[in-house]
Structure 1
């Protein structure tokens, strides 16, 4: 299965190019291009073409004997991803894009069922986390299905529509993606854990499961649903920090196993991004800050990129190096990616105060983000090139 990792790496590069193109559209819009349509394509390629594919292949290679059915399913899913890559920029949520996303969702259901069947006799912390991640993928998929119902009933412009979108995003980011990364972490270090360490991690797993559900209210506070939602979200966000503390030892063990400097740097930055994400979650429970984040799109984009690129993608690239699925010594592409990521996050973070505090025109900041997105894209291009040309079978 190792040769198949070239597919998500290629799609990572494609998604990065789409993101760079979107940045350019904010500077010099192309009349024939629908920004929202391309944005939908970009997000689906990054979610399903990059992260989902890596976790799919990782779960199969680490927990099963690599049965032929998984390879067949993988290529069926790639047809759906290719269809979304073409259809979303052309029509947004239209007939063909909906068909391809639905096919991918049901294909993922088949994969999950096959995975659960082939691992039914296995028992470990890592496999439990993998099952949790896949269950939360199923939960997240209810959001898009509900969107279809809202559109059919004429409620496409209601708050419920945005609730469904954030439901999907929440259980992808804080569910499938997060627990998928924890799965790979635990699979690598579980044999080295002491009995006390296993108990601590198991406790953290239970807490993380609960808080992954109870932090969803933080995604809808912009609608002012009531102070009770703020309180629940705040408490869940604080408790989630306690869950993460249970995984400090596994992270330390994993770092000790990494011999490549770039991999170590990526995992450290992934952990740092996760800490920062938890702080932002706690702060977002404040009603004024929740409304502030909703008012400024740059804040939302910065947060989403913090999680998808900083927390998830950095770890996945580090894990690919650890597994020799990416060649060692790719420091330059990794550094370019990190510089572009951190720089663009900083600029996005200061955008709400650009005119009043920093006296900088917003257009200048858009140009700055575009410039910083170039090394980010070049870094991903270098990682993709080294991964597709230099990957060796193991």
Structure 2
């Protein structure tokens, strides 16, 4: 991995976290100059496209492309052009919201992601059947998810006020980003990284793959249930979450006792990240399975705090944890205490903010009102995240050496 790229992606993460902190501070103090909605757009775009997208860009480039393909200049050009769009969005969205410049930069980002996806499809190593299939699935979902973006653009251009369709289009994009592109890209990297240790059979893998794929596609029905209250969509989602649970159980069963060998191959910081990753993966599966209960499905689609909490559960506890895990594989340094401290701070900040949001969401669900100092507690807990990122950045910025452990 290129050290400069890693640092750039982490700076994007820091910017997104500071934007989020400002948004939470707006509920504690009056910030006259802040346009909350515009800043929210800036925060979400930088977090998703500047941090998660570029994080997976970096790791896929380092791990899943043969050296002679990864060395092509096009990937360097794509990285820096994409970073240019991220900086554009980070400036344009807080100032003007959805307008000429922000739409230009976000559209250019999509075009660049298409080019990256096509290049990776052609260039990636096909030696590992499992990783290759998962990566190609991720790429297809990347294309599919952007349909939602173009529908949103059409609605905004036509100004027809179709609020339900607007929200459904946004959720289409987010659903197939989180449950499609990002999830399957993570799994492709995970099997590439740990496949030799976990030794899942082709039969068990195919069972897991098809159950998860079908379950994740069908689970979009929950959004349709929220938008139109179609009864059949509730039952489709119920089938979907059962399939997702069966997929996870099939995966866990196939690994057996290999987990011990896997854990023994990791540093202390990596073990913490792996534990967080697995815990969140199981938690999100249990949450989704709980939606077969009508009251839970109603709660999940109506309470904004649960929606935000679930998005952050995925972004911080799952995808971020895996990117950090991969980053630590390629960095050998004497300052492991900094790396471990950063991971511990990430873990504390993540757990505290999730606890506060879900607890307040439960209060609203039970009509208990707002518990005291909710916004203050959420703001101060959120302060831990940029500190964690800065600590992680410091570990990478200090002089050390990279252990190039790619699959080239």
TM-score by length of 2: 0.89
| 1:150 positional shift | 1.6
2:328 to 315, 321, 327: 321
CA contact (8 A) 2:121 2:139 kept: no
1:154 to 132, 156, 159: 159
Q: Structure 1 residue 144 and structure 2 residue 149: aligned?
A: yes
Aligned to 1:380: 389
Aligned to 1:310: 317
Q: How do 1:85-164 residues align onto structure 2 when only pairs under 5 Å count?
A: 85-119=90-124, 122=127, 124-164=129-169
Aligned to 2:75: 70
Compared CA separation, residues 338 and 153, structure 1 to 2 (3 A): same
CA contact (8 A) 1:325 1:387 kept: no
Comparing 289-298 and 338-347, the one that deviates more: 289-298
| 1:241 positional shift | 1.5
Compared CA separation, residues 62 and 379, structure 1 to 2 (3 A): same
Compared CA separation, residues 34 and 157, structure 1 to 2 (3 A): farther
Compared CA separation, residues 225 and 276, structure 1 to 2 (3 A): same
Compared CA separation, residues 119 and 296, structure 1 to 2 (3 A): closer
CA contact (8 A) 2:59 2:326 kept: no
Task: Give the distance between the partners of 2:222 and 2:357, measured in 1 at CA.
Answer: 21
Which SS does the other structure have where 2:398 is aligned? helix
| 1:200 positional shift | 1.1
Task: Give the distance between the partners of 2:219 and 2:399, measured in 1 at CA.
Answer: 41
CA contact (8 A) 1:11 1:49 kept: yes
Q: Structure 1 residue 235 and structure 2 residue 211: aligned?
A: no
Aligned to 2:89: 84
Task: Give the distance between the partners of 1:392 and 1:362, measured in 2 at CA.
Answer: 48
| 1:370 positional shift | 0.7
| 1:298 positional shift | 1.3
Compared CA separation, residues 10 and 314, structure 1 to 2 (3 A): same
Task: Give the distance between the partners of 1:17 and 1:346, measured in 2 at CA.
Answer: 20
Runs of 5+ consecutive residues of structure 1 not aligned to the other structure: none
Task: Give the distance between the partners of 2:198 and 2:365, measured in 1 at CA.
Answer: 52
Aligned to 1:351: 360
Q: Structure 1 residue 179 and structure 2 residue 184: aligned?
A: yes
Task: Give the distance between the partners of 2:181 and 2:264, measured in 1 at CA.
Answer: 25
Task: Give the distance between the partners of 2:382 and 2:97, measured in 1 at CA.
Answer: 24
Q: CA offsets, 1:14-49, max 9 Å, x none? A: 111111111101111312211111111111111111
Which SS does the other structure have where 2:201 is aligned? helix
Runs of 5+ consecutive residues of structure 2 not aligned to the other structure: none
Task: Give the distance between the partners of 1:99 and 1:46, measured in 2 at CA.
Answer: 18
Aligned to 2:277: 270
CA contact (8 A) 1:12 1:384 kept: no
Q: CA offsets, 1:106-157, max 9 Å, x none? A: 0111111111222376552112211111211111111110111122333344
Q: Structure 1 residue 2 and structure 2 residue 11: aligned?
A: no
Aligned to 2:41: 40
Which SS does the other structure have where 2:383 is aligned? helix
Aligned to 2:216: 212
Task: Give the distance between the partners of 1:28 and 1:363, measured in 2 at CA.
Answer: 16
CA contact (8 A) 1:255 1:264 kept: no
TM-score by length of 1: 0.92
Q: Structure 1 residue 371 and structure 2 residue 380: aligned?
A: yes
2:286 to 255, 279, 284: 279
Q: Structure 1 residue 392 and structure 2 residue 401: aligned?
A: yes
| 1:366 positional shift | 0.7
